[in-house]
Amino acid sequence: MELTPDIHLVDGVTCNVYLILEPDGVTILDSGLPGAHTRILALLQSLGHASGDVRRIVLTHQHIDHVGGAPALVKATGAEIYAPVGDTPAIEGKAKRERPRGPLGLAFAVMIALQLRPTTVNHQVAGGETLPVFASEGGLQVVATPGHTVGHVSYYLPARRLLFAGDAYRHADGKVTPSPKMFNHDTPQAMRSLASLCALDVEMSLPGHGAPILHDANRLIAEAVASVASVAR
Ligand SMILES: [Zn+2]
């Protein structure tokens, strides 16, 4: 699905995967479950790009539905991986992968053991860095939004008032809500990260799950933070 002429959403790969098409190459933001590379590369091809055009895979966090497609994408494209420093040990298979609590966690553990392969992170980010993506517009900035996972980050392009939010929130039925507790590493920290996004000027926000927010994202995020605060009182 075309969101802007240079940003496309890959449908049907569990988490939202975004293709960023620039004259100097393609960036893939998050990578879906293991096996998602087939759909991602098929869409890329239909847009007139070869797999060799992919220069970067930019990850928001370590969860299997966001990093699962990355090893096969690296193999097919030779792209370099950018990922949060806090989540890098898990992505590289050197630390236990975070997964949901409860019975769903057990299903995830099986899926992780059977399907998820570790992959090398070429560039670790923690927040405050500027990536060579949308470089002609000032570059994509890394924003630390920990809590959903230990190292979760979001990516922000001030020139377009555009935020790639990962799982810093969910978007459904026109409302932004915090990520469900069962999926979070530290829910109070995730809430503080969500509140911190209110400081950014955001019109379009592209989450890891749910429909892209094309307009007025600031208001929706602020409403989510206010509603959680009123419940907590
Ligand atoms: Zn997640």
User: Rounded to the nearest whole angstrom, what is the distance from the C-alpha of residue 61 to the centroid of ligand 1?
Assistant: 7
User: Rounded to the nearest whole angstrom, what is the distance from the C-alpha of residue 48 to the centroid of ligand 1?
Assistant: 30
The whole-number pLDDT of residue 233 equals 53
Residue range(s) defining the domain that contains residue 163: 2-232
User: Rounded to the nearest whole angstrom, what is the distance from the C-alpha of residue 47 to the centroid of ligand 1?
Assistant: 28
- pLDDT per residue over 21-76, tens digit each? 999 999 999 999 999 999 999 999 999 999 999 999 999 999 999 999 999 999 99
User: Which among 153, 229, 163 is positioned nearest to 191, based on CA atoms?
Assistant: 229
Decide: pTM greater than 0.85: yes
User: Rounded to the nearest whole angstrom, what is the distance from the C-alpha of residue 96 to the centroid of ligand 1?
Assistant: 15
User: Rounded to the nearest whole angstrom, what is the distance from the C-alpha of residue 152 to the centroid of ligand 1?
Assistant: 9
For 179, what's the count of Cα atoms within 13 Å in the CB-facing half-sphere?
29
User: Rounded to the nearest whole angstrom, what is the distance from the C-alpha of residue 79 to the centroid of ligand 1?
Assistant: 22
User: Rounded to the nearest whole angstrom, what is the distance from the C-alpha of residue 185 to the centroid of ligand 1?
Assistant: 10
User: Rounded to the nearest whole angstrom, what is the distance from the C-alpha of residue 63 to the centroid of ligand 1?
Assistant: 5
Decide if pLDDT at 228 tops 90. no
Token duo for residue 180: 């469900």
User: Rounded to the nearest whole angstrom, what is the distance from the C-alpha of residue 231 to the centroid of ligand 1?
Assistant: 23
User: Rounded to the nearest whole angstrom, what is the distance from the C-alpha of residue 175 to the centroid of ligand 1?
Assistant: 18
pLDDT range class, residue 222, cuts 50, 70, 90? very high
pLDDT range class, residue 205, cuts 50, 70, 90? very high
pLDDT range class, residue 231, cuts 50, 70, 90? low
- pLDDT per residue over 144-176, tens digit each? 999 999 999 999 999 999 999 999 999 988 899
User: Rounded to the nearest whole angstrom, what is the distance from the C-alpha of residue 112 to the centroid of ligand 1?
Assistant: 14
Q: What is the CATH number of the domain that holds 111?
A: 3.60.15.10
User: Rounded to the nearest whole angstrom, what is the distance from the C-alpha of residue 66 to the centroid of ligand 1?
Assistant: 7
Is the alpha carbon torsion for 80, 86, 87, 89 positive or negative?
A: positive
Q: What is the mean pLDDT of residues 201-214?
A: 96
pLDDT range class, residue 14, cuts 50, 70, 90? confident
User: Rounded to the nearest whole angstrom, what is the distance from the C-alpha of residue 80 to the centroid of ligand 1?
Assistant: 21
Q: Give 129's strand partners.
A: none
Q: What is the mean pLDDT of residues 83-109?
A: 91
Q: Per residue, what are the HEC states of 36-75?
A: CHHHHHHHHHHCCCCHHHEEEEECCCCCHHHHCCHHHHHH
Token duo for residue 213: 């927010």
The whole-number pLDDT of residue 106 equals 85
Domain count, the chain: 1
User: Rounded to the nearest whole angstrom, what is the distance from the C-alpha of residue 67 to the centroid of ligand 1?
Assistant: 10
